[in-house]
Amino acid sequence: MTRIEAHQGAKLSVAQWLRWIRDCAASANSTQHQPSYNYEVRSLVQDAMPELSAAEEWLLELHVGLFLLRKHWTYSYTGYYVNIARTETMNDILRQLALGLPTETIDSPWELLQDTIAYIRQTAMHEKALASVYLDVYAELWIRFLAPSAGSPGRFEEELTRLENEESRGNGGDVAEPDAANGQMVADLEGFESIAAVEDVGTARGTAGLSGSGSPKRSLLFLTGARAWMYYWLGEDRQAWQQLELAAQEQLKPAQVLRFLNVLEEAEDWSRLEAWMSGCATDRLGRQYNSIQAYGSYWDIVVEHLPETEERMWEAISSLLPLSRGLYEKRLLRYGRWRLWIDYQISIGEDPLDFRVRDLQPIEKGDPEALLPWYHQSVERHILLRNRDGYKRAVKLLKRLAKLYKRLKREPRWGAYVDGIAKQYSRLRAFQEELRKGKLIP
């Protein structure tokens, strides 16, 4: 293993650090699909680590996390422990970033992180397996450290150029002349490809997608996701949404969309958050219950601060039906839109008996008359089934109707209604028997 002296730490490139971490990890007794692998690699790195400054130690910890992500996500075997290791590794990285930079680097995050950003950019754009997880780390580095210290839009425009250059490199096209610092980054990182080629990732899948290593397995996910963030910071939201639409075709995760909303909430930029909420009301939110519910919670926050946006909330949520059915129903009840809730239940063929009595109590108290058409329609539907079970359910509904009419103080109208039902279906003997059992007719 290459020995690193204390005075060398600041001079090492990302590629050199990653080679050193790889050499440390080679001594591990476990493999990446075993639960002890992460702990063992970190311990080996800690034991071999030279004396470093706080900034260098922080950066080394981040690089160890990126190395472990690469090992877990480019490994062909995916089982229980691998999935746990993936989650733990990402959580460790996010916790480190949440704690912030070392005090000595707070005012100069660009100097500390530019090589790491370049490594993430190049690796994620050329290795499909890493595109999603590296995009998450890339976004967090920008959100927490780089964007707040950017100073001018030029930083984001430069990053867009670097992304385009990396895309051109992958496509074999012409690349714009990089600045001196970025040119050095590229030179250093090209050496990393040789690392990937010899890493023990368990399968050729770990190297596919790198320049000159088999057929490309490139993904546009990282490129489009990273561009979306740059356009976001440039205030060009429509371009950001367009990039997210493209990213959605490359398996963009709903959480990666919701991260934009979270950043806007933290910034308390309610008008822009509302625009993003409307702009993100598409299938890119996914079909996951949690992502749809999180989307709804952001609308609650927006409407609380900007009450005039409530109608746009209904438009956005209803546009996601049927994916947003649970969210839509809950919001209708929460906002007291009883009649719309009932109309929706009728439109999708729901029956009042499918709900517990206590679920309908808010409507019975708030607008009991709104329930009458739904109950009447359901009674008729059950009777027309022409079977004993249908008759029993119809009688059960009629009993609920009796209580509603009593609450509305319309007992005479109830009496006329139930007499009319009994006469209309007088030839249905079993139904008449159920009416008598329910004490609805003599």
- Rounded distance, CA 417 to CA 379, Å? 12
Say if 360 falls within a structural domain. yes
How far is 179 from 320, CA to CA, in rounded Å? 45
Secondary structure string (H, E, C) spanning 240-257: HHHHHHHHHCCCCCHHHH
Tokens of 439: 């004490």
Three-state DSSP at 341 gives: helix
H-only helix segments in 320-387: 325-334, 338-347, 357-366, 372-383
163 within some domain:
no
* Domain final position from 307, 335, 363: 335
Structural domain includes residue 242? no
Domain span holding position 284: 265-335
Q: Are residues 278 and 327 in the same domain?
A: yes
The two three-digit tokens of residue 45, written as one number: 């790195």
Q: Do 363 and 431 sit in the same domain of this protein?
A: yes
Q: Is the pLDDT of residue 114 over 70?
A: yes
In this structure, the answer to whether residues 357 and 302 fall within a common structural domain is no
- 291 plus 368 within the same structural domain: no
Q: What is the pLDDT of residues 173-207, one digit of tens each?
A: 554 444 444 444 444 444 444 444 434 443 333 33
Same domain for 422 and 367: yes
Residues 330, 281 share a domain: yes
Residue 406: band (very low, low, confident or very high) from pLDDT cuts 50, 70, 90 = very high
- Give the mean model confidence (pLDDT) for residues 324-344: 94
Same structural domain for residues 329 and 360?
no
Note whether 297 and 368 are same-domain residues: no
At residue 116's C-alpha, the angle toward residues 120 and 100, to 5°, is 110
Same domain, 372 and 319: no
For the whole model, what pTM was predicted? 0.83
Structural domain contains residue 124: no
Total number of domains constituting the chain: 2
Answer whether residue 290 is part of any domain: yes
The answer to whether the CB of 208 falls within 8 A of the CB of 217 is: yes
Task: Answer whether 2's CB lies under 8 Å from 19's CB.
Answer: yes
Residue 150 lies in a domain: no
Q: How far apart are CA 100 and CA 97, in angstroms?
A: 5
Domain-ending residue, one of 285, 301, 335: 335
Asked if the structure places residue 321 within a domain, the reply is yes
Distance CA(166)–CA(221), nearest Å, equals 14
Domain boundary among 274, 300, 335: 335
| Placement of tokens 């100073």 in the chain | 151
Question: 315 and 378, same structural domain?
Answer: no
Whether residues 423 and 369 fall in one domain: yes
pLDDT tens across 37-64, in order? 888 999 999 888 888 888 889 999 999 9
Instruction: State the Cα–Cα distance between residues 231 and 240, nearest whole angstrom.
Output: 5
Residue 181 lies in a domain: no
Residue bearing the bigger pLDDT, 243 or 214: 243
Q: Residues 97, 117: contact at Cβ < 8 Å? A: no
Cβ-based neighbours of 154, under 8 Å, separated by 6 or more: none
Sign of CA dihedral 120, 124, 130, 132: positive
Judge if 272 and 330 occupy the same domain.
Answer: yes
| pLDDT tens by residue, 217-266 | 567 999 999 999 999 999 999 999 999 999 988 989 999 999 999 999 99
Structure tokens at 303: 């409407």
Return the residue matching tokens 């994916």.
Answer: 323
